[in-house]
């Protein structure tokens, strides 16, 4: 029940944020004056005191403000996800530990919230926006298409597969672990159907610069968690490549390096069989036979 209460409260917060951003009106105040907190540790957010700015004196002493050098914003951990994807494993979340947070009650609204962040940032005279990694959640092309649509502007279609929502939050799913907005309190009938409809994003007006995160490049985002759960580094890499391709019915095109398959390759700095953390140190990326990144020393 506590998991259900926390899920319901988080979904309410996500809906509130979404509603506040729609229609062109920004909510009053900022996190300097008030922010959401969890006062009792029960997963139910409430409006609390703000978070003040803190002078960073680890690199230089505090000084009075003389003039503004630049104004930029950062978007981090948007985690735009295809919540209907068969590659996701939200049922593992109930195991806790290293498997926590595979399900999030607000997951059907991630790209809409990103588009609302864009609308808010467009009200500022920004020189740049830094996208700080984990723009998408599960290294899927349709997640990237949605996220880029929100950032670049245009029509964004959150739906995948059959029309309408097909996922663990369906009202017909009796599993009490998942928040179902059509039937569970607080009720928001029709929310999931609306979340799957195409919508328009204005796109960022300022130039933006992306940084690669682990979820942007890895299925489920984590190799290290699977190793901590008991898999060997080799088994973990196989789970994200050849085994994933088999589960998706794409083993004839993906998963291994051999003639006739798509040339999707990465090279990392280190030996991932000795240290799976090397998988986060990507130096070279080939997509469909085309080199899209080459950070090796001396490479042209």
| pLDDT 10s digits, 94-124 | 766 655 667 888 899 999 999 999 999 999 9
- Contact by Cβ (8 Å): 110, 80: yes
Residue 152 phi, psi dihedral angles, 5° rounding: -90, -25
Residue 116 lies in a domain: yes
Residue 269 lies in a domain: no
- Contact by Cβ (8 Å): 255, 240: no
Residue 150 lies in a domain: yes
Residue 296 lies in a domain: no
In the chain, % helix, strand, coil (3-state, to 5) comes to 30, 15, 55
Residue 23 lies in a domain: no
pLDDT at 154: 96
Burial 5-23 (b: 16+ CB within 10 A, else e): ebbbbbbbebbebbeebee
pLDDT at 238: 81
The CA-atom distances, in angstroms, between 46 and each of 35, 49, 110, 154, 181 are 8, 10, 21, 35, 20
Helices (H) then strands (E): counts for the chain? 8, 10
pLDDT at 287: 78
pTM summary value: 0.64
pLDDT at 279: 73
pLDDT at 16: 35
| Total domain count, the chain | 1
pLDDT at 286: 84
For residue 166, what are the domain limits?
Answer: 70-213
pLDDT at 219: 60
Residue 20 lies in a domain: no
Residue ranges of the chain with per-residue pLDDT less than 50: 1-27
pLDDT at 96: 67
pLDDT at 120: 93
Largest CA distance in the chain: 63
């Amino acid at each position: 029940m506590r998991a259900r209460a926390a899920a319901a409260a988080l979904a309410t917060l996500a809906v509130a944020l979404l509603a506040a951003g729609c229609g062109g009106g920004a909510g009053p105040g900022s996190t300097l004056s008030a922010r959401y907190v969890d006062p009792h540790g029960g997963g139910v957010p409430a409006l609390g005191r703000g978070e003040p700015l803190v002078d960073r004196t680890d690199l230089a002493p505090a000084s009075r403000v003389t003039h503004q050098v630049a104004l930029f914003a950062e978007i981090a951990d948007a985690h735009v996800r295809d919540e209907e994807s068969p590659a996701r494993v939200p049922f593992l979340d109930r195991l806790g530990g290293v498997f926590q947070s595979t399900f999030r009650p607000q997951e059907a609204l991630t790209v809409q919230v990103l588009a609302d962040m864009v609308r808010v940032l467009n009200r500022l005279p920004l020189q740049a926006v830094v996208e700080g990694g984990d723009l998408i959640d599960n290294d899927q092309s349709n997640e990237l298409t949605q996220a880029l649509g929100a950032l670049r502007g245009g029509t964004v279609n959150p739906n995948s597969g059959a029309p309408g929502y097909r996922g663990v939050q369906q009202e017909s799913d009796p599993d009490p672990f998942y928040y179902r907005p059509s039937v569970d309190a607080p009720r928001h009938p029709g929310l999931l159907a609306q979340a799957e409809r195409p919508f328009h994003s204005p796109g960022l007006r300022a130039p933006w610069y992306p940084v690669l995160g682990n979820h942007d490049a890895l299925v489920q985002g984590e190799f290290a968690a699977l190793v901590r759960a008991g898999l060997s580094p080799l088994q973990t890499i196989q789970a994200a490549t050849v085994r994933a391709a088999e589960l998706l019915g794409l083993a004839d095109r993906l998963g291994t390096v051999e003639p006739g398959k798509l040339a999707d390759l990465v090279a990392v700095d280190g030996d991932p069989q000795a240290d799976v953390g090397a998988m986060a140190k990507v130096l070279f990326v080939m997509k469909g036979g085309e080199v899209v990144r080459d950070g090796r020393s001396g490479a042209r």
